[in-house]
Amino acid sequence: MPGEQLLPFESSERYNDNIKLIFEKARITYLVTELDAPARTEKKVPINEIVSSHMARRTFIGNIYKLVKGPNLVSALTGHVEGSRAFTRYRTIDIDMKKDLVKILEGKQ
């Protein structure tokens, strides 16, 4: 790219459309469960139809949190204020994190 840009500039209106297109071209189309809020039901949809920059941000935060496990550090890194309610929605404690904690308590890590 000319200048110091790694990627071309994309307007915010087209950004998510292009993310969906990239997933489609890369054949990343597995089914995920989406909540249909008005009907309060779940439906299966291809991920390439609902992927977005916000989904990428949530995934990025979740993956970092699994490695660092320090909510204040991760929230600061991702631009959230300490104690942010939005940040707490991004981090989930999964089975692997629980297993790692047990290993630490047992002195195996």
Q: How confident is the model at residue 108 (pLDDT cuts 50, 70, 90)?
A: low
Give the pLDDT score at 33: 92
The closest alpha carbon to 18, from 44, 67, 53, belongs to 53
Which is it for the CA torsion 53, 49, 85, 87, positive or negative? negative
Q: Read off the pLDDT of residues 39-90 as tens digits, 9 standing for 90 and up.
A: 889 999 999 999 998 888 888 888 888 787 677 787 777 777 777 777 676 6
Q: How confident is the model at residue 27 (pLDDT cuts 50, 70, 90)?
A: very high
Domain that holds residue 94: 53-109
Burial class of 45 by CB neighbour count within 10 A (0 to 12, 13 to 18, 19+): middle
Residues 60 and 107 in one domain: yes
For residue 70, report the phi and psi dihedrals to the nearest 5 degrees.
-115, 100
Cα distance between residue 27 and residue 108, in whole Å: 40
Residues 91 and 81 in one domain: yes
Give the pLDDT score at 49: 95
- Which of the pair, 45 or 7, is modelled with greater confidence? 45
> Given the structure tokens 């297993």, which residue do they identify?
99
94 has a pLDDT exceeding 80 = no
Number of domains composing the chain: 2
Residues 39 and 79 in one domain: no
